[in-house]
């Protein structure tokens, strides 16, 4: 079911390999999608709620009676939630909050660089955020938790959530999404999806929604394109594309476990990427043999087969574990599982991954729900330069500079010298004037 890419023996032959170009990758042309979302965003900016109604009808096939979800609908969704599902939500919330509080760290750190010369590093929460929760192929109530909990732990004072309206629920988002919002105390919830939701947050809609400072959360390519288009007007977390999993494994791995984890991520989306990197042909063959019967037992067989047979998925054969680490570093997976001997030590050698799952008892689905880690992660190799959504994503870092006259005098000549060297004499004069005789 998975295509095979054999990299064995090629390094020994003196061939130079750019793994970033070789590894399987989902097609995801955000630049092309921007042309489609630009008029959508412009329409929301210019015509507000009128445009939202037209776009909701066009893209979602339903126009909510109210784009802001009524308080009674949130309360009803929580009241009607299955007790077992609620218990699962509460475990996930508790564990994510425990980790998020630890992520917060110190709010202020003061460093005395010299007598009377102090620099204070202060973290300040973003004032208002808009959190996007997908509602397409799967109603990701877990994304409410993974967006809201770190924002709350960071101290964000104004939090709004949006998710696409669903025709089967009378134009409201999925009831599980509303229920989690209610459990978490989020009262500002919108039934708006797609690029128009990002535009609503970015520009604001008079009488409906105030503009936000930051938009976070995963979405389809049009959501991603809108985030890129409007970045600058708003802050964004990342440009998260289709989900992906890479598994680095040796012959100690359990084939059924590896196959199940590849299948689990393929369940998300036909564009989802499932990649196995291994130095064991025996394991590769065993995983291939496991895939078909496991897929046959799943609910979303067509979607999974499309993902597993697509160009974004495959098995990469390598000479040894060292080459395997190099390949997964080049891939920069959103989710990376390590199924090897000494898995913890191998994980320490990896530098590029959104989240790393160590050993046979830490499947990605654990992280999707209740590991306590974040599941909003960079995709498409962005893990080489970006991080997942944490408390730090909702904090701004500000330096406060507090110098006495004596401390400034100590570095007066340094500033004046720098200013002269850069041909910015007024910079130097701004210090010199403070020591002029008539300013005493």
Strands 108-114 and 117-125: antiparallel
Is pTM beyond 0.85 here? yes
Q: Could you report the per-residue pLDDT of 364-407, keeping only the tens digit for each?
A: 999 999 999 999 999 988 999 999 999 999 999 999 999 999 99
From the candidates 335, 337, 339, 375, give the one annotated as an active-site residue.
335
- Cα-based angle 336, 240, 277 (whole degrees, multiple of 5): 25
Annotation says 65 is catalytic: no
Residues of the chain with pLDDT under 50: none
Please tell me whether residue 352 adopts helix, strand or coil conformation: coil
Annotation says 174 is catalytic: no
Cβ atoms 250, 341 nearer than 8 A? yes
| Residue 324, both tokens | 């395997």
From the candidates 239, 244, 267, 334, give the one annotated as an active-site residue.
334
Largest CA distance in the chain: 88
Write down the pLDDT at residue 17.
Answer: 81
Q: What percent of the chain has pLDDT over 70?
A: 98
Measured in Å, how far apart are the chain's first and last C-alpha atoms?
82
Among all chains, which residue has been given the structure tokens 């960079």?
378
Q: Could you report the per-residue pLDDT of 226-271, keeping only the tens digit for each?
A: 999 999 999 999 888 889 999 999 999 999 999 999 999 999 989 9
Write down the pLDDT at residue 1.
Answer: 85
Write down the pLDDT at residue 239.
Answer: 85
């Amino acid at each position: 079911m998975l295509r095979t890419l054999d990299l064995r023996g090629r390094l020994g032959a003196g061939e130079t390999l750019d793994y970033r170009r070789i590894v399987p990758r989902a097609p995801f042309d955000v630049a092309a999608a921007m042309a489609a979302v630009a008029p959508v965003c412009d329409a929301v900016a210019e015509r507000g709620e009128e445009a939202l109604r037209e776009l909701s009808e066009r893209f979602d096939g339903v126009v909510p009676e109210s784009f802001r979800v009524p308080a009674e609908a949130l309360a009803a969704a929580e009241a009607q939630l299955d007790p077992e599902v609620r218990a699962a939500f509460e475990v996930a919330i508790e564990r994510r909050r425990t980790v998020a509080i630890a992520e917060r760290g110190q709010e202020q750190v003061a460093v005395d660089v010299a007598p009377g010369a102090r620099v204070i590093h202060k973290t300040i929460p973003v004032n208002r955020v808009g959190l996007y929760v997908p509602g397409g192929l799967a109603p990701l109530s877990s994304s409410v938790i993974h967006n809201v909990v770190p924002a709350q732990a960071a101290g964000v004072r104004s939090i709004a959530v949006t998710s696409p309206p669903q025709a089967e629920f009378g134009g409201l988002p999925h009831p599980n999404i509303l229920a989690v919002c209610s459990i978490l105390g989020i009262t500002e919830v919108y039934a708006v999806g797609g690029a128009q939701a990002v535009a609503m947050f970015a520009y604001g809609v008079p009488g409906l929604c105030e503009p936000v400072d930051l938009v976070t959360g995963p979405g389809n390519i049009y959501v991603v394109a809108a985030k890129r288009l409007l970045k600058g007007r708003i802050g964004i977390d990342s440009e998260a594309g289709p989900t992906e999993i890479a598994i680095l494994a040796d012959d100690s791995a359990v084939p059924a476990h590896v196959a199940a984890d590849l299948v689990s991520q393929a369940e998300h989306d036909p564009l989802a990427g499932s990649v196995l990197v291994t130095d064991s042909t025996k394991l590769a063959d065993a995983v291939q043999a496991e895939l078909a019967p496991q897929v046959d037992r799943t609910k979303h067989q067509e979607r999974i087969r499309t993902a597993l047979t697509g160009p974004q998925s495959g098995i990469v054969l390598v000479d040894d574990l060292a080459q395997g680490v190099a390949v997964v570093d080049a891939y920069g997976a959103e989710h990376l599982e390590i199924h090897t001997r000494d898995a913890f030590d191998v994980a320490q050698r990896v530098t590029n991954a959104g989240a790393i799952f160590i050993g046979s008892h830490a499947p990605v689905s654990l992280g999707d729900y209740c590991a306590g880690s974040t599941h909003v992660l960079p995709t498409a190799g962005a893990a080489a330069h970006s991080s997942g959504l944490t408390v730090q994503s909702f904090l701004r870092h500000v330096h406060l500079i507090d110098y006495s006259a004596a401390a400034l005098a100590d570095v007066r000549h340094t500033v004046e010298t720098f200013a002269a060297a850069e041909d910015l004499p007024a910079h130097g004069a701004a210090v010199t004037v403070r020591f002029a005789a008539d300013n005493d």
